[in-house]
Amino acid sequence: MGITKGLKPAKVFEYFEKICSIPHGSKNEKALSDYCVEFAKERGLKYYQDELYNVIIVKEASKGCENRPAVIIQGHLDMVCEKESDSTIDFERDGISLEITDGYLHADKTTLGGDDGIAVAYALAILDSDNIVHPKLEVVLTVCEELGMEGASGIDLSMLEGRMLLNIDSEEEGCLLTSCAGGCHVTCRLPVHYEELKSGKTFRIDINGLTGGHSGCEIHKCRANADILAGRLLLFLRDRGFDFRIADIRGGRKDNAIPVDSSFTINVCGTKEINTAIDDFTDIIKREYKTSDPDIILHITEISETPDESGDFKVLDKLSTDAVVNIINSLPNGIIAMSSDMPGMVETSLNLGVIDMDKDRVVMHYLLRSSKDSSLDYLAARMQCISSLLGAEAEISAQYPAWEYVPDSKLRAVMIEAYKDIYKEQPRVESIHAGVECGLLSAKIKGLDCVSFGPDILDIHTPRERLDIASVQRTWEYLLEVLKRL
How many Å apart are CA 149 and CA 403, to the nearest integer?
13
| Closest by Cα among 234, 177, 259 to 430 | 177
User: What is the structure's pLDDT at 422?
Assistant: 97
User: What is the structure's pLDDT at 311?
Assistant: 53
Domain boundaries, given as residue ranges, for the chain: 10-181+402-485, 184-398
User: What is the structure's pLDDT at 270?
Assistant: 83
Answer yes or no: CATH 3.90.950.20 is held by domain 184-398.
Answer: no
The architecture (CATH level 2) of 10-181+402-485 comes to 3-Layer(aba) Sandwich (3.40)
User: What is the structure's pLDDT at 1?
Assistant: 63
Which residue stretches of the chain have pLDDT < 70? 1, 305-312
DSSP 25: B
How many Å apart are CA 88 and CA 110, to the nearest integer?
10
- 3-class secondary structure, 228: helix
Q: Under 8 Å CB-to-CB from 310, ≥6 apart: which residues?
A: 196
Under a CB-based contact definition with an 8 Å cutoff, are residues 143 and 151 in contact? yes
How many Å apart are CA 378 and CA 407, to the nearest integer?
27
Indicate if the alpha-carbon torsion angle 129, 132, 137, 140 is positive or negative.
negative
| Closest by Cα among 462, 416, 443 to 114 | 462
Under a CB-based contact definition with an 8 Å cutoff, are residues 370 and 347 in contact? yes
Buried b or exposed e, range 102-127, using 16+ CB within 10 angstroms: eebbbbebbbbbbbbbbbbbbbbbbb
User: What is the structure's pLDDT at 147?
Assistant: 84
Is the peptide bond between 116 and the residue preceding it cis, with omega within 30 degrees of 0? Answer: yes
User: What is the structure's pLDDT at 401?
Assistant: 86
Q: Under 8 Å CB-to-CB from 95, ≥6 apart: which residues?
A: 20, 21, 22, 23
The helices-and-strands tally (H runs, E runs) of the chain is 11, 25
- 3-class secondary structure, 279: helix
The upper half-sphere exposure of residue 49, i.e. CA atoms within 13 Å in the direction of its Cβ, equals 16
Within this chain, domains 10-181+402-485 and 184-398 share the same CATH topology = no
Q: What is the CB neighbour count within 10 angstroms for residue 264? A: 23
Indicate if the alpha-carbon torsion angle 406, 410, 411, 416 is positive or negative.
positive
- SS3 helix, strand, coil % of the chain, rounded to 5? 30, 30, 40
- Kindly give the pairing relationship between strand 213-214 and strand 257-258: antiparallel
Digit-coded pLDDT (tens) for 214-230:
899 899 999 999 999 99
User: What is the structure's pLDDT at 6?
Assistant: 95
Under a CB-based contact definition with an 8 Å cutoff, are residues 354 and 364 in contact? yes
How many Å apart are CA 137 and CA 164, to the nearest integer?
10
Q: What is the 3-state secondary structure (H, E, C) of 102-142?
A: CCEEEECCECCCHHHHHHHHHHHHHHCCCCCCCCCEEEEEE
- 3-class secondary structure, 371: coil
- 3-class secondary structure, 320: helix
Residues marked active site are found at 78, 145
